[in-house]
Amino acid sequence: MISLMTMITNNNTFGISPVGKGSRRRSYGLVNENGEKSMWKEFSLAHIKETFKSLQMEELYQYYCVHMKNSLTIALVVMATLICLTVLFYHLFDTQDTKSTEFISHVTILSSGIAGNCLFFGFVVRSKFYCHYPTSISISYWIFLLVLLNLYFNVPSYNRRPTDDMVVVFYTIFVCYTMLPLSKCWSLVLGALTVVLQLISSGVIAEDKKFLVGQLMSNFVILVCANISGMYHKYLTDLTHRRTFLEARNYIQSMFKLEREKKQQEELLNSCIPNDLVEEIKDLSKKMRNSQTSPFHDLYVQQHSDVSILYADIVNFTPLAAECTAEELVKMLNELFGRFDQLAKKNQCMRIKILGDCYYCVSGLPNPNPNHAINCVNMGLRMIDAIREVREATGVDVDMRIGVHSGMVLSGVLGLCKWQYDVWSDDVTIANHLESGGVPGKVHITKSTLEFLSNQFEVEPGAGHMRDAYLADHNIETFLIKPKVRKFDENRTIRSRFESSLRASLRVTKYLENWNVDKPFATLHVSPMATKLLSVTKDYHDFMFSLAFLDSNLVLNSIENDHGVIGPSQQLNIEINAELAKKSKDLVKKYSFKSMKKPKEDFNPILMHFSQQQEGEYQHRPDPSFKLGLLCALFMFIGVVVVQAIMSTRDALYIVSIVCGCAVFGLVITCSFFAECLTPVKGSPLTNRLLVLACYVTNSLAARICVASLCVFCVFFTSIVPVISNQSPPEDRSAVNNTKVLYWAHSSLFGMVTTSLFLQISLTFKVILTICVVIGYNLAFHFTEVFQVEMFIRNSIEPLDIATGMTVYLAVFVLTLIFHDRQVEYANRLDFLWRREFQSETEKVRSTAEQNKKLLENILPSHVADYFLSGNRSKNELYSESYDNICVMFASIPNFKDFYHQNASNKNGIECIRVLNEILVDFDQLLSKPEFSNIEKIKTIGSTYMAAAGLQPGRESGNQHGECQKNVIGMTEFALMMMVKLEEINFNSFNQFKLRVGINHGPVIAGVIGARKPQYDIWGDTVNVASRMDSSGEASKIQVPLKTANILMEAGFRYEYKGFTKVKGKEPMQTYLILPPPADT
């Protein structure tokens, strides 16, 4: 009961998983704005045609349909030719008078028919000609068949009876509807014309006028039912193909989106890490799914020898930044570092990271470069020139201090979230100290770098040991490279376009605008589908599984909310339709006779069978069109009843067959449509049981087979009721007085057509059912003496009895039905495969989009990622925020540098970096806890961990004291938990690492800078002070300034007063040390 009720609410139109069902049904117009189904809209072509028109794909679809019908049209012409040949041979070998007018006319007409069919065969096999004039050829061929039939049966006109051509005309109407590529309008016109011509010829030419009205009425009913069944096949085939065509277009559009998402993914990955690490990181999710236990987390670090490292710092930038608003600072940094990125690319350097106003890059990775030292020196000189241009144009005293060192580095990413490509080694440390001990306006290098320069630069002694203690302690000899002399007039007045009355920061910002540097993610274009896919994960902050996929429920919601297929841009629409034309041609090839001979990877076209798993899914898919099949079968039943009412005695058995048939059809049709009329009602068991029954009829394969068999049996039994009631042999075996018997035989046409009405039921079942019906009719024909009479009156040939004649007719009909049903089955299976492909590609799009989201969140906070993924931002818009109460933390492991050594035993430092990775992973995992949800990791700098609390949209200018307290307390608790985690690592690894923490709170500026490698960062005096609190702090303690200490003391944290601490660029500050809780607590 529960499972069937679930089927009611989760009814899937096409029998595949319900991914994308909501959008698909809405795109067909089957669901109104409130999500309620309409009983008939599900089968309405009007809404789909409107969609086709809006997507400019109607002409393409018609071309596709013509190709699809080509093989059927060829088969129709071939069958008509064979029938004409068979009848011609019958006349030639069984004639009694070869000189009679009847014989000559029939041979002439049949010969002309064969010639005409050969002519049309030449037209239809020429696919290009056929596809250019499909309607003209089809109309002409239908009319040709009408002329051929009327000539054959009406010339000569004597002995003409209304029953003579009934079976042939019925067959012609049915096959022309189902096999010719005509529109429904033209088919209806020609079908009506066929009926009218048959009735006129029968009424006018018939010699025996006795009971003529009854015969014409029966003819009309039989031929109308032929038109109904033909139109039913054409309508449902058109509906199915249009849906498949939309599915194919959706599939192609998803492919376009998938390629776009993949491109974005590569761009995002490459903005964070080099190409050689991309594949390794993509494998992260696979390794997670394998659930292989390991004492260590994955480490993505590689060793590179013979590289050069450049560190650059903007001198006097701090006072300049202090004057800037948030927008100005982000714009200034983006322009400066964007220009540096351009220079890095020209000089074959890779920017590693931006630290405040410090910029560092490396040459020689990921690919080796023998000119790495020359590249870095040239890069440094170009940076000095660029900043000197700023100084000259604006009068602002800024300069560059640059250090370059050559050696070995370890490069990669550490931690679980906020991945930033970084480098580590003793040589990196030396390069950093070269910058801090350098001279503004010159490039500070070591002897190892000098050896790679080949005397290409003018060099002077650097005396770095006099300006930096690290260089002195390690006895590192340094040199300075002089820039080429340029004629700068340092004292000249500032250019008029940058008035000296403006403040310095504004002058610099205005000048930098002329550099036209790209904005971050200026090339990032996100599809509406991706935006909606990603929006469902807005509150998902589990960075621990940064590449993991969303669960299927999120996928379902995201796909159902995607309406992008209805209105894509014109350019995208043209591209999709062009690809659709190509794909449709490939699909049409699968329908060709040649391709059917070759087994496909997907399924066997001869046996019409998938693999076991797919076959079960295909057979058990719901069939909403089954309702229409029942209605059409009802019309066939009514047709039989009417014909029998006219042509047979209405005895008790006839009445019983009608009552039973009406009861069966009334019950199954009512049940099948209950689901459209009723909705589940709590507390109404009758309604819910009826819904379960209705759903069971539509969705259960066994129920559909039973109901279809029952309907076919009702039509079959009603059609042979007169045979059962009239077992006596006829007194006259001539055809003159046996008109009613012929109509009893013709009633078999209704049973034959009924077997083909259920299009979605498997071919095997329909073939078995059709053969059973044919056997039943033949048993009735051949074992009942009432049919042992002449079928027609011909003087030139020996007449056949009704039993033999109907056997021949039914044999032709059953072969045609099996061939047609096979084509329908083949199309259904290919449609099923297309939809499976579409579902698969949709899954790929969703997965790739989620990967993009997680990768972007590893560069930016989630709310910033949402901003860049939204389609509402300007391409050249910069992202910046100004916050009033942000708590910033710097946590470093000062004794890690003592632990780090480069030797063969630890793989030149890789094993030391592995330990650092484990530490950072444990720190990152703390962020997934709910109590730390408002803390954002900013980056890591060596063994220093930087985070901030309160970087949330909508709270930029909040002055609430409670919010400030929450940020400070939360960050302090996070820092204390980091200390606990580090102690656990010490216990397990037998190390003695100590965490030194500095915390400060206050206003900060946040933003994204760097077009080639976008990076989110925060700036401001609050950040600088927090950094100084760390660098001047004590191990296993948290140093905070007075204003932060007041909040923590009020909250009950243990503390001790440290005194005044010197802070670079500021007056000595009064600071406190926050102590961890006692060990016993």
Dihedral sign (CA 901, 902, 905, 909): positive
What the block records as the tokens of 46 is: 């009007």
H or E element, residue 944: strand 944-949
Which residue type is seen at 490?
E
| Among 927, 854, 940, residue whose Cα is nearest residue 414 | 940
Q: How far is CA 538 from CA 111, 230, 535, 874, 952, in A?
A: 75, 52, 5, 21, 13
**Cβ atoms 748, 755 nearer than 8 A:** no
Closest residue by Cα to residue 761 from 815, 698, 813: 698
Placement of tokens 């009514």 in the chain:
638
Beta bridge partners, 883, equal: 1004
- What DSSP character marks residue 700? -
**CA triplet 931, 936, 940: central angle to 5 degrees?**
125
CA distances 709 to 660, 696, 714, 721, Å, are: 15, 16, 9, 18
Name residue 95's amino acid.
T
> Alpha carbon of 297 to those of 288, 289, 849, 988: distances in Å?
10, 14, 25, 15
Neighbouring CB atoms inside 10 A of 931's CB total 11
The neighbouring-strand residues paired with 946 are 890, 939
Q: How many CA atoms lie within 13 A of 570 on its CB side?
A: 0
Distance CA 630, CA 180 (A): 25
> Which residue of the set 1028, 1037, 1062, 1066 is catalytic?
1028
Write the burial class of residue 774 (CB in 10 Å: 0-12 exposed, 13-18 middle, 19+ buried): buried
Helix or strand or coil: residue 312? Answer: strand
How far apart are alpha carbons 880 and 97 in whole angstroms? 102
Are residues 284 and 297 in contact, defined by beta-carbon separation less than 8 angstroms?
no
Q: Measured between alpha carbons, how far is 82 from 117 in angstroms, rounded to an integer?
A: 10
CA dihedral 59, 64, 67, 72 (to 10 degrees): -110
For tokens 């609430």, name the residue: 960
Rounded Cα–Cα distance for residues 135 and 118 (Å): 19
Instruction: Let me know if 903 is exposed, middle or buried by CB neighbors in 10 A (0-12, 13-18, 19+).
Output: exposed
The verdict on whether 1064 is a catalytic residue reads: yes
CB 357 within 8 A of CB 436: no
Judge if the upstream peptide bond of residue 1003 is cis by omega within 30 degrees of 0: no
Number of other CB atoms surrounding residue 209 within 10 Å: 9
Other beta carbons less than 10 A from residue 117's beta carbon:
24
Cβ atoms of 470 and 452 closer than 8 Å: no
Find, among 794, 1034, 853, the residue nearest to 164 by Cα: 794
Rounded-to-integer distance, Cα 716 and Cα 999, Å: 89
**Count of alpha carbons within 13 Å of 834, Cβ hemisphere only?**
27
> Active-site residue 846, yes or no?
no
* Per-residue tokens: 224: 């109308």
Strand-pair partners of 892: 944, 996
Selecting among 210, 503, 1064, 1066, the annotated active-site residue is 1064
Instruction: List the end-to-end C-alpha distance of the chain, in Å, as a whole number.
Output: 55
Q: How open is the CA angle 272-273-279, to the nearest 5 degrees? A: 125
| Structure tokens that stand for 431 in this block | 């390069």
Tokens of 968: 């400070």
Q: Which residues are catalytic?
A: 1028, 1064
